[in-house]
């Protein structure tokens, strides 16, 4: 099997080059060709000797997951479905914010007025079974490799750069797609370190966000290994409700999670943690719940991101009304908490938060068991 260079960080690629009798700086050249130019053709790498190009081509390739489907919503949100083998497919979402000046202006000016966020998957399915998330309903098959994680960014960067005529079309990356990133810790950290590398994508730690449901020991590991912006899927102000909505809470309850967040901030690129809170009508969206949330997070420097629920079939939940969201937000803001309401993007193509499903051969059989329970009821 050929070695996929998309999955190698700088030191690993240097080792490959040295092992083939080349100087370590050849790795830096190859990284720029792969990740910045978007090339997967060794013949294009003209500042590398032909002899080395011919040798490396025999032993390695540059291979992103195979594209199965490319869909764009009217609001510009774009979703790719990638084949990751063994009957599984994952989804990746690009969200552009078009505050771009006229094309006659310089690239520097255009980039200051542009933001392109890529939402990347880390697993085929998810084992954590959050009740309001479509991915969790699919069950779980396996972790993605580093090459499969980075390959999503590689493919999107190359595709969007051509469409938007931008040199760096991806300004922000969120590990917020299918799967729980911290349950695939080593591959995700290696992939993020590659995203941060100036020889690759050069993304700022402040613009690289990892979203977790709250695996406390892994948050502590991330703090030491690769501190990036942290978002925590809270979704409830107390353990009783969170046990129901986010089952991992039964193992790592809110108090332990908040303590881990405080520890994380010591090394984080931002001086706060973002708490994500999906708004479910009649479940967690009352004014009383908002007051509880204020008390719960009061000791943690944080920002609250309220997320209108994005429906999917068989979810059993409804989106909170605009009035309920506004009243909930007002309680938080009056208490001094920085609070935003996420704008729903891409829901027409099932690309909004919580809607990513992909195609997963569920080895946990959880999705099948749920179907049988629903039929029996």
Among all residues, which ones are annotated catalytic? Answer: 91, 353
- Both tokens of residue 268? 């984080």
d(CA 36, CA 301): 35
Match 């910045």 to its residue by tokens.
36
d(CA 366, CA 361): 11
Match 């102000």 to its residue by tokens.
237
Q: How many residues does the chain have?
A: 377
Contact indicator for 284, 243 with CB cutoff of 8 Å: no
Residue 34 neighbours by CB under 8 Å, 6+ apart: 5, 6, 40, 62, 154, 200
Query: Please, which residues bridge with residue 93 across strands?
Result: 79, 119
Give backbone dihedrals phi and psi of 96, rounded to 5 degrees, phi first.
-90, 145
């Amino acid at each position: 099997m050929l070695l996929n260079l998309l999955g190698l960080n700088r030191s690993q690629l240097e080792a490959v080059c040295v092992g083939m009798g080349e100087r370590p700086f050849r790795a830096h050249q190859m990284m720029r060709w792969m990740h910045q130019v978007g090339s997967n053709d060794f013949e294009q790498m003209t500042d590398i000797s032909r002899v080395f190009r011919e040798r490396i081509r025999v032993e390695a390739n540059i291979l992103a997951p195979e594209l199965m489907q490319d869909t764009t919503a009217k609001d510009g949100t774009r979703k790719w479905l990638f084949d990751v083998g063994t009957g599984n497919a994952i989804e990746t979402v690009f969200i552009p914010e078009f505050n771009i000046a006229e094309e006659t202006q310089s690239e520097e000016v255009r980039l200051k007025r542009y933001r392109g966020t890529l939402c990347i998957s880390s697993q085929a399915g998810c084992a954590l079974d959050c009740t309001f998330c479509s991915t969790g309903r699919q069950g779980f098959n396996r972790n993605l490799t580093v090459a499969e994680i980075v390959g999503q960014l590689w493919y999107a960067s190359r595709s969007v750069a051509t469409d938007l005529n931008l040199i760096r079309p991806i300004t922000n990356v969120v590990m917020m797609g299918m799967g729980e990133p911290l349950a695939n810790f080593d591959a995700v950290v290696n992939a993020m370190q590659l995203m941060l590398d100036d020889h690759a994508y050069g993304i700022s730690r402040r613009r690289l966000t990892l979203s977790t449901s709250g695996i406390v020991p892994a948050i502590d590991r991330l703090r030491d290994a690769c501190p990036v912006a942290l978002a925590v899927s809270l979704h409830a102000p107390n353990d009783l409700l969170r046990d129901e909505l986010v089952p991992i809470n039964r193992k790592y309850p809110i108090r332990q999670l908040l303590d881990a967040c405080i520890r994380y901030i010591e090394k984080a690129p931002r001086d706060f943690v973002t708490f994500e809170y999906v708004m479910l009508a009649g479940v967690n969206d009352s004014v009383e719940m908002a007051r509880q949330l204020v008390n719960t997070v009061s000791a943690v420097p944080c920002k609250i991101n309220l997320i209108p629920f994005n429906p999917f079939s068989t979810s059993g939940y409804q989106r909170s009304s605009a009035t309920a969201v506004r009243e909930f937000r007002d309680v938080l803001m009056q208490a001094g908490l920085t609070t935003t309401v996420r704008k729903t993007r891409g829901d027409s193509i099932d690309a909004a938060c919580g809607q990513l499903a992909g195609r997963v051969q569920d080895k946990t059989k959880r999705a099948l068991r749920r179907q049988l329970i629903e039929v029996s009821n």
